[in-house]
Structure formats: structure tokens, C-alpha cells
């Protein structure tokens, strides 16, 4: 039966490239370990179950090049295996301790005891510590659409003074996606959902057919599209764009009305890493600094202080996730029916979220998706999940409209990434980008050590351009680390530039050290920066 409309869920999975071989343990590497344990493996377990049981789901995921690089890195994979082993051991101890000392938490401790083992088995035994292989399985099954992002999530609207730098972010991302999945990506998540007119020329060169925009990217396009965000548009540059549906997005992420704030869900900010005696958790804090471990015994409870949070009940939380999945489906059916009555084609509701919302921030998020895909498959015929290429194949005729510059950041433009707290970085990034183009022009056929240095200079520039550093400076989290990363990559690039222009000696041990430390994109070719 032909549905009245379609739902296009999109999860943007990205982390900055963090890898510190010079130290045995590094706090920021745990961003990756948390995401694997709480988001990526739980999502894979959901998709595996759906695929095995014949549930016809569709999901689009960005797997950014830095994230893919870390998931494939032997050092980081080894460190994650050690991390998940420690979690399993701690959960064993907690199951015994709570049974003896805090019986109100004993059932939840047993849940973690089982859950961490399930995650470890999936990661290590099922997929051989290779999550790229896991995602590729669902891509090849035709259920998961995997798209790329900027090579290092560089914020493209603030890079357009050096067009070659924008081009490099797109083409390197395309090539690395092909290296990981054996095929070029059809779509791209523009970093920070940041669009600027003219970026299409680089997307078309890379073979990119479509992307996604914040709602005002379509509603304020010229001329204004007839169907708002509920049908794709084609930009004058020849790339299709789908716009975010704010109603379905708000139901999930809104702090006021979104599902994750429900009182029965797990409380994120109350974690045993802060609460147990240090000797119980010292293995996780080699630097002596407390932080979240991932074992949490309390529920949201309500608008109360952390001291007043009540014990988490896993069974109640899962029941609530099923109820919210039904509510979300009913709202989409109601929405689709209203839209379809006035459109010349079935509407599409595109709902994008940060992937880490599902599992890391909202612990029950993967359960919600599991219930939702099953309900959409078994319980109704009005709406069907879909990917952008499938929709565009069925309805290829799109209105032509020019989107404005836009992002999904606060207030919709660039102030998150350009403000008094981080504006100092851009003169350095622009100069380094200009110098990289100069180097590529001066050395069109480099060999040996010179070629290695040119490739490493490109890596250092790319890593400095990561939008994550400017974002962290704005949000005031690990600010000193973000500043240091920016300064370090610019300094390393500057050394290589000076050496390649004859100002200082080009020393092989220094190049080798940088290659080992910042080893992203081993097959990168610096000539991607050659002026056109």
C-alpha cells in the first residue's frame, strides 16, 4: 500500500579526532569510548535486531571522517577494549556492592552487569572490534544510508576566503568514505549544517547529490518553496536539499517538551564517578580527576536537585520509551495527513539529530528507535521511513530555489563559531590555508621526505580547522584543550611550511613524529590543494 507520506530520520555521528599516543591515558579520548559504549554499539544492536527480524527500517547516518578514522585506529581500538573490560569488572563489583549496601540500586547494577557484557560481545566477538564493518553491513543491506561530512568537520562558511580549503574538506571526505565503505557517498552533512551559496560546485565535483539544511535554509530560500521543508528543493548549483522539520525535532530534543526530560528516564548528571570513594573507581582516573564513568543509578525524577533524585527503574523507563515511540508515530501520522491534503506529492518529514543524543545523553534513545521502527512497520500504513535517495528517485522533480547562508547553531547563523571567545583563530587558519595552497603550487611533483612533509602539512591544517575547537571555546567546556589543539596544529603546520620553503631544515625525525601523532588520512594527497 502506498503511504501518504514519509519520515526521514537522520543521525549525525561525529567526534573530533583525539589521539594521544604519547600518554597511556588521556581524558578526551574517553569521548570516543563513551560514544561507542552508549551510542554506537547500542544503535548497532538495535539495527541488528531489526534486520534479523525483517523489520523494514530506514535510517540515515553521518559517519564523519574523523570518527571513522578513530574507529579504525589500532591504538584507540586497543584502548577501548581495555576500557570496556574495566567497565565490565566495575559492574561486577557494583552488583555485589549494591546487593550488600544499597539494595535499592541492586537491580540497576545487575542491568549494567549484563549490558556491558552485551556491548563488549557485540564490539569484540560479533564485529571483531571493527564498528565500520558493522555499519557497512547495514549499508549493504539497503537499510542504512551512510553519508559523509567535511574531512575534519571544518565550518565551511568561515573558510570560503580560500576556496581550495573548502574543496579539500569535501574531496578528502569523499575519498576517505570510499576507502571505508567501498563506494562514494551520495550525500553529505555539511559541518554544523553550515551552508553557504556556491558550495555546490565542490559538492558536484565530489559527486554529492544531496544534503540537509536547517529549516530556514528552505523557508527563507528564494523563491520561497511551495511546500516549505516538506519537499526537497534543488539549488541553482544542482544539489538537492532537505530541510529540518522543527515539530518532529522538538519532540525529541527540546529541554521543555522533549521526551528525554521525562521523569522516568535515566538522570545523566548523577554518576558513580562523582559519588563512590576514589579507591572504588581509581582505575578510571589515571590523572586523579573525577568524571562520569557511565554507571548511573537515578532517574530524572523532576525539577529537583541531584541529591533528591530517585532510584532508576529500568523496566519503567523502557515502558515509557515504548509509549513515547507510539506518541511520536501518532503525531507524524497526524502531521502527514494534514500535509498530504494540500501537496502535489507525498510529504517528507526530515528529522535530524546528533547521534549521541540517542544513548549518551538520552539513555533510552536506542530503545525509543527500536520501538518506533517496529511500530511503523507493524502498526500502520500511513507513513513509511525513507532515505533521501529513495525519495528523490520516486519524486525527482524539485522546485529550484537558492538557500541563504544558514546553520543549525544558535540563532541559525555563525555566532557559535565566530564570537569574541574564538575569533582569534581565524586569521591563523586563513593564513595556513593560503600557505597550503602555495605549497601545493610550488611542489607539484614532490617525492620522498618532501612529499611526506607536504602531506603532513595538509593533515595539520585539516585538524586545526575542526569546528569542534571553536565550539568548545564558545560552550566553555574543555576550553584549554581546544585552544591547545588549535595552537599545536598551527605551530606544526608552520614548522613544515618554513622547512618546505627553505627557511629552516626539514628534519625527518620531526616529520616522522608528527606522522605518528597526527596520523589521520594515511592516503591523503596534498595536491588536493592545488589551485584551480
Examine the pLDDT at 98 and tell me if it is beyond 80. Answer: yes
- The span from the CA of 86 to the CA of 63, in Å, is 27
For 134-252, list the strands marked E by DSSP. Answer: 144-147, 187-188, 210-213, 233-234, 240-243
Per-residue pLDDT tens digits for 254-307: 767 899 999 999 999 999 999 999 999 999 998 888 999 999 999 999 999 999
Reported as a single tens digit per residue, the pLDDT across 436-492 is: 999 999 999 999 999 999 999 999 999 999 999 999 999 998 999 999 999 999 999
Ordered domains of the chain (ranges, CATH): 5-72+130-201+260-266+312-342+349-394 (3.20.110.10), 418-529 (1.20.1430.10)
> Could you tell me the pLDDT band of residue 25, with boundaries at 50, 70 and 90?
confident
Distance CA 137, CA 187 (A): 18
Cα separation, 169 vs 180, whole angstroms: 17
CA proximity to 426, closest of 150, 19, 127, 154:
154
233-234/240-243 β-pairing: antiparallel
β-partners of residue 241 are: 211, 233
Nearest CA among 164, 48, 33 for reference residue 87: 33
- The one catalytic residue in 186, 313, 330, 354 is 354
- The shares of helix, strand and coil residues in the chain, as percent rounded to the nearest 5, are 55, 10, 35
Of 30, 175, 192, 364, the active-site residue reads: 192
Q: Let me know if 255 is exposed, middle or buried by CB neighbors in 10 A (0-12, 13-18, 19+).
A: exposed
Q: What is the pLDDT of residues 51-68, one digit of tens each?
A: 999 999 999 999 999 999
| DSSP structure class, residue 403 | P
The pLDDT of residue 255 is: 66
Contact between 377 and 55 (Cβ < 8 Å): yes
Does the active-site annotation cover 192? yes
Residue 51 makes CB contacts below 8 A (sequence gap 6+) with 57, 138, 141, 143
Would residue 438 show up in a list of annotated catalytic residues for this protein? no
User: By three-state DSSP, how is residue 233 classified?
Assistant: strand
Average pLDDT over residues 66-87: 98
CA distance 475 to 466: 15
CA nearest to 408, candidates 152, 144, 189:
189
Amino acid at each position: 500500500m502506498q503511504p501518504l507520506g514519509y519520515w526521514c530520520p537522520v543521525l549525525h555521528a561525529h567526534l573530533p579526532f583525539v589521539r594521544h599516543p604519547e600518554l597511556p591515558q588521556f581524558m578526551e579520548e574517553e569521548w570516543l569510548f563513551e560514544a561507542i559504549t552508549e551510542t554506537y554499539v547500542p544503535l548497532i544492536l538495535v539495527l541488528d535486531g531489526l534486520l534479523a527480524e525483517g523489520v523494514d527500517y530506514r535510517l540515515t547516518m553521518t559517519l564523519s571522517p574523523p570518527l571513522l578514522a578513530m574507529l579504525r585506529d589500532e591504538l584507540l581500538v586497543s584502548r577501548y577494549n581495555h576500557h570496556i573490560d574495566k567497565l565490565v569488572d566495575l559492574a561486577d563489583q557494583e552488583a555485589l556492592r549494591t546487593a550488600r549496601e544499597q539494595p535499592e540500586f541492586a537491580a540497576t547494577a545487575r542491568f549494567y552487569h549484563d549490558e556491558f557484557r552485551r556491548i563488549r560481545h557485540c564490539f569484540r566477538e560479533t564485529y571483531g572490534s571493527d564498528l565500520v564493518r558493522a555499519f557497512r553491513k547495514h549499508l549493504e543491506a539497503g537499510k542504512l544510508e551512510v553519508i559523509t561530512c567535511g574531512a575534519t568537520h571544518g565550518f565551511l562558511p568561515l573558510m570560503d576566503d580560500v576556496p581550495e580549503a573548502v574543496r579539500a574538506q569535501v574531496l578528502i571526505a569523499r575519498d576517505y568514505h570510499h576507502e571505508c565503505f567501498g563506494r562514494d557517498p551520495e550525500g553529505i552533512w555539511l559541518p554544523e549544517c553550515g551552508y553557504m551559496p556556491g558550495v555546490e560546485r565542490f559538492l558536484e565535483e565530489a559527486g554529492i547529490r544531496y544534503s540537509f539544511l536547517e529549516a530556514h535554509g528552505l523557508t527563507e530560500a528564494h523563491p520561497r518553496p511551495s511546500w516549505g521543508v516538506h519537499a526537497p528543493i534543488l539549488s541553482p548549483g544542482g544539489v538537492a536539499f532537505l530541510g529540518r522539520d522543527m515539530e518532529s525535532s522538538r519532540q525529541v530534543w527540546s529541554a521543555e517538551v522533549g521526551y528525554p526530560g521525562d521523569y522516568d528516564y535515566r538522570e545523566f548528571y548523577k554518576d558513580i564517578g562523582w559519588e563512590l570513594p576514589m579507591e572504588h573507581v581509581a582505575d578510571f582516573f589515571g590523572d586523579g580527576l573525577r568524571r562520569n564513568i557511565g554507571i548511573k543509578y537515578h532517574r530524572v525524577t523532576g525539577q529537583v536537585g541531584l541529591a533528591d533524585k530517585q532510584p532508576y527503574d529500568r523496566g519503567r523507563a523502557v515502558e515509557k520509551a515504548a509509549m513515547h515511540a507510539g506518541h511520536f508515530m501518532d503525531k507524524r501520522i497526524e502531521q502527514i495527513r494534514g500535509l498530504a491534503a494540500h501537496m502535489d506529492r507525498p510529504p517528507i518529514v526530515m528529522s535530524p539529530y546528533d547521534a549521541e543524543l540517542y544513548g549518551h545523553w538520552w539513555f533510552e534513545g536506542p530503545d525509543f528507535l527500536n520501538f518506533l521502527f517496529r511500530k511503523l512497520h507493524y502498526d500502520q500504513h500511513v507513513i513509511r521511513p525513507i532515505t533521501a535517495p529513495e525519495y528523490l528517485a520516486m519524486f525527482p522533480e524539485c522546485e529550484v530555489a537558492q538557500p541563504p547562508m544558514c546553520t543549525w547553531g544558535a540563532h541559525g547563523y555563525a555566532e557559535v563559531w565566530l564570537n569574541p571567545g574564538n575569533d582569534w583563530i581565524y586569521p591563523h587558519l586563513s593564513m595556513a590555508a593560503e600557505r597550503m595552497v602555495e605549497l601545493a603550487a610550488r611542489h607539484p611533483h614532490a617525492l620522498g621526505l618532501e612529499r611526506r612533509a607536504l602531506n603532513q602539512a595538509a593533515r595539520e591544517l585539516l585538524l586545526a580547522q575542526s569546528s569542534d575547537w571553536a565550539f568548545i571555546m564558545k560552550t566553555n567546556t574543555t576550553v584549554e584543550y581546544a585552544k591547545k589543539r588549535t595552537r599545536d596544529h598551527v605551530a606544526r603546520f608552520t614548522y613544515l611550511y618554513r622547512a618546505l620553503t627553505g627557511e629552516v631544515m626539514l628534519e625527518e625525525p620531526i616529520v616522522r613524529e608528527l606522522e605518528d601523532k597526527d596520523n589521520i588520512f594515511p592516503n591523503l594527497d596534498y595536491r588536493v590543494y592545488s589551485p584551480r
